[in-house]
Structures are given as structure tokens and as C-alpha cells.
Amino acid sequence: MKRVGMAIKELHRSENELAGELLAVSDRHKADHELFYLGRDLARWSQRHVRRLAEVGRDYGLHLDSAPQGDPAILAAVRQKGAELLGRHHDPAMLVIRDLRGLHRAAAGVSLDWEVLAQTAQALKDRELLELTKACHPDTLRQLRWANAALKENAAQIMVAD
């Protein structure tokens, strides 16, 4: 059971990280309404997953924070300063591609973690854990598809523009 707890803890961490990355990308690309608003909505999905993982983690002796990590005001200020610095030193259009690639990789990793947890829940016949994976993993798959679609939508235009 210790390994199951480790898997839950890792998924909790990676969902928290994905939520943070979605918010950071959203902040860096405020001018692109889809990236801004949809990024924030998708981050809320991961934040909800974090809360649900913290709840189920108690059954495995874990004490996970049910709130997203960090002070939102401090994180927003750090993200804004980072966006300003990046904007001064890099091509903003290429940052879109970099950010979408990063989101895709992060969502793919989270998806794999959900798969591991689902297989574990089935092996243990843990209905609560299995229901959690069935409820949350489709959200992650949608986050992954969105990042892929956004990358396809932006890549050609960005790469051939002068």
C-alpha cells in the first residue's frame, strides 16, 4: 500500500504543477483570449483534481494539501515578472510554441499517472480510487488534446511569419 500512496502523492504533485503551468501560460499570453481564458478554465480542472486526490489520499495515510500550492497573489506577481522578462529577451510568438509544447508534455505525464492509478485501483478492487480516476482522467485527456490542437493551430502561422 505504500506504493499506492506514493502514486497518489506523485499525481497530486503533477496535477498541482500542471495547474501552475496552465496559469503561467495564461498570464504570459493575455492578448490571446483562447490561451488566457481556456488556460484558466483548464487550470481549475487540475486544481479540482488536487483537492480530490487529497481526499482519497487520507485513506492511504497521506496528508496532502487540498489547496493549490503557494499564495496566489505572490505566484501571480512572480509569473507577471517572469512574463515581462521573457518578453524582453525572446520572440513572443516562439514563446507560444514553447509554452504549448510544455503544457502538452505536462498533461501527457499527468495522463500516464492517471493510467497507473486506474490500473492499481482495478487490481486492488478499490472502487473509490477507480471512480476518482474515471472522473478525473478524461479531464486530463481533454487538456492534452487542447494543448495539441492549440499547437497545431498556431505552429504553421508562427513558424512562417516574418
pLDDT, tens only, 49-102: 999 999 999 999 999 998 866 444 445 555 556 555 555 556 777 899 999 999
Going along the chain from its start, the domains and CATH numbers come out as: 2-160 (1.20.1260.10)
φ, ψ (nearest 5 deg) of residue 64: -95, 145
Angle at 42 between CA 73 and CA 130, to 5 degrees: 115
For 110-148, the pLDDT digits (tens) are 999 999 999 999 999 999 999 999 999 999 999 999 999
Q: CA 156, 158, 162 angle in degrees (round to 5)?
A: 115
Q: What percent of the chain has pLDDT over 70?
A: 85
pTM: 0.85
CA distances from 90 to 56, 73, 98, 129, 162 (A): 42, 25, 11, 43, 15
User: For 53-68, what is each residue's pLDDT tens digit?
Assistant: 999 999 999 999 988 6
Check the CA dihedral 105-111-114-120 and report its sign.
negative
